[in-house]
Amino acid sequence: MPKTDFTWTREQFHLPDGVIYLDGNSLGPLPQAAAARVAQTVTDEWGEMLITGWNKAGWMAAPKSLGDRIGRLIGAAPGTTVIGDTLSIKVYQALAAALRLAEPGRRIILSDSGNFPSDLYMASGLIDTIGGDYELRTVAPEDVSEALTDEVAVLMLTQVDYRTGRRHDMAELTAKAHAVGALTVWDLAHSAGAIEVDLTGADADFAVGCTYKYLNAGPGAPAFITVAPRYADIAQPALAGWLGHDAPFAFEHAYRPGAGIDRMRVGTPPILQCAALDAALDIWDRVDMAEVRARSVALSERFIAGVEARCSDVTLNSPRDPAMRGSQVAFRHPEAYAVMQALIDRGVIGDFRAPDNLRFGITPLYLSEDDIDRAVTILADILDNRLWDRDAYKQRAAVT
């Protein structure tokens, strides 16, 4: 693949004037082509083709074709990734399938205390549903390897911590899990489009992720699930949805799972969101992930150095070593929420994560060195002059 042109990639996004966007790790910005692509789907396909669009416009095949384009970014084997539904649904599917494949008698789902709460909620809900004596066991992130024993059925982890950006070693932990007879489920919500991922090289069993963060497919965009080829035709879907059936339009009363990754489809694909994802992936098709990662590290190091040189009121809450973190940087401040609101008011958009994290996504496709330097200057001004100390900045909104 030719060298990534980051000037070109920046031009492919709509970024409001005067805004430095450091929250692409939560919601990516609008690709320039997305509005027209969605409009074309609405008018030319839905409008003119009506229901025949499922065949004529390729709507039914979109989840797999889009899945393969994501698969390239995460090192998945062709034909093993499909999109649809939400990330929570995909976590539930992957974990349920992994538990059914686990050795008899194993009852422990192992995760860590830094995992995204929704993943833990889904695991707990699944345990309540299937009954038995299953246990969700969480340990500190640094204790995961030691906690992998022959009691563990499934290791379920988010590769990159949503708050601090701390990164698990997927290959090392997958190898350790397999050595003790456990399977793995990896959540790539903060990995896909952010760091180099090699599911095949790591021999991961299941992986899931979302497309509205670094992949820039828009709010509510569908999630994805990947199943290792060795399990593609034997993994049993817990959610026996119509579109996961081997022959949906045979309308059989009994469920027969589809071949391979098709069995992990559940509901009707969100075609308008698929159109937005298609436009976003047109950019990613011209990007080399190794180059994205190298630029992410360079911009992150620049940001950390700038903040630490000018902002004595904050403390780094991400790993110091860039090899140990994803593509986001977190700093701690006792009034982090108010500080972030002041930043947003000045056109620097990051976000807050409880209890005291200022979180900044470093997204190379559209960020420059100048953006990083200006963000540091504005943050320093807010902290030095206590510009965050206003009642309006301390009133918490529904989304933080």
- The domain spans of the chain are 6-30+288-394, 35-284
Distance CA 152, CA 340 (A): 40
pLDDT of 3 reads: 85
pLDDT at 217 over 80: yes
pLDDT digits (tens, 9 = 90+) for 242-297: 999 999 999 999 999 999 999 999 999 999 999 999 999 999 999 999 999 999 99
pLDDT at 212 over 60: yes
pLDDT of 8 reads: 97
Mean pLDDT across 169-189: 98
**Which parts of the chain are beta strand (E)?**
13-14, 20-21, 30-31, 81-83, 108-112, 135-139, 152-158, 183-187, 206-210, 223-227, 315-316, 328-332, 348-349, 351-353, 357-361
Tokens of 21: 């966007």
pLDDT digits (tens, 9 = 90+) for 166-177: 999 999 999 999
Mean pLDDT across 35-49: 98
The residues annotated as belonging to the active site are 116, 187, 212-213, 359
Q: How confident is the model at residue 132 (pLDDT cuts 50, 70, 90)?
A: confident
Given CATH 3.90.1150.10, say whether it is the number of domain 6-30+288-394: yes
Q: How confident is the model at residue 353 (pLDDT cuts 50, 70, 90)?
A: very high
- % of the chain residues with pLDDT over 70: 100
Q: Is 0.85 surpassed by the pTM of this model?
A: yes
pLDDT at 1 over 60: no
Mean pLDDT across 25-42: 98
pLDDT of 86 reads: 97
pLDDT at 185 over 80: yes
Mean pLDDT across 196-218: 98
Mean pLDDT across 330-336: 98
pLDDT at 347 over 70: yes
Q: Which CATH class is domain 35-284?
A: alpha beta
How many residues does the structure list for the chain? 400
Q: What are phi and psi of 205, to 5 degrees?
A: -85, -50
Q: How confident is the model at residue 95 (pLDDT cuts 50, 70, 90)?
A: very high
Q: How confident is the model at residue 400 (pLDDT cuts 50, 70, 90)?
A: confident
Q: How far is CA 398 from CA 49, 105, 159, 395, in A?
A: 40, 43, 27, 10
Average pLDDT, the chain: 97
pLDDT at 227 over 60: yes
pLDDT at 107 over 80: yes
Partners of 330 in beta bridges: 359
* 3-state SS, residue 42: helix
Mean pLDDT across 59-85: 97
Distance CA 213, CA 308 (A): 27
Partners of 21 in beta bridges: 349
